[in-house]
Amino acid sequence: MKRAIDVPRGMRLILQAISTVPRNMRKIIHPWKAMFTSLPVWAIVAAHFSENWGFYTMLTQLPTFMSESLMNEKREKPSASFTRISEFKHNENIKSQ
């Protein structure tokens, strides 16, 4: 446990340490203007936006696509299965996409 006498000594040490830091290093300057006018930063922002847009579009449209494509395949099931089986046997066990 700290004694009451140690607290002012600690404060003095902190103030001494702060006073030895050069004045120009005390304030951190952020180059906001340079960052927001930088072409690579805007390229990253555009790429990130496009990737997220595509991902969420695919994520929301995938159930509809799967429903429509599976329903079509169920209707044409015999012909679709025969074609795949014949391609599989013809290509020596290599399935086509």
- Is 23 part of a structural domain of the chain? no
- Is 20 part of a structural domain of the chain? no
Quote the pTM value: 0.45
User: What residue numbers bound the domain in which 50 lies?
Assistant: 35-96
Number of domains in the chain: 1
Residue 92: left (phi > 0), alpha (psi -120 to 50), or beta? Answer: left
- Is 65 part of a structural domain of the chain? yes
For residue 17, pLDDT beyond 80: no
Instruction: Give dist(CA 68, CA 75) in Å, integer.
Output: 11
Place of tokens 């044409």: 76
Structural contact between residues 87 and 95, judged by C-beta atoms closer than 8 angstroms: yes
- Is 74 part of a structural domain of the chain? yes
Summarize pLDDT for 63-95 with one digit per residue, the tens: 888 888 777 666 666 666 666 667 666 666 555
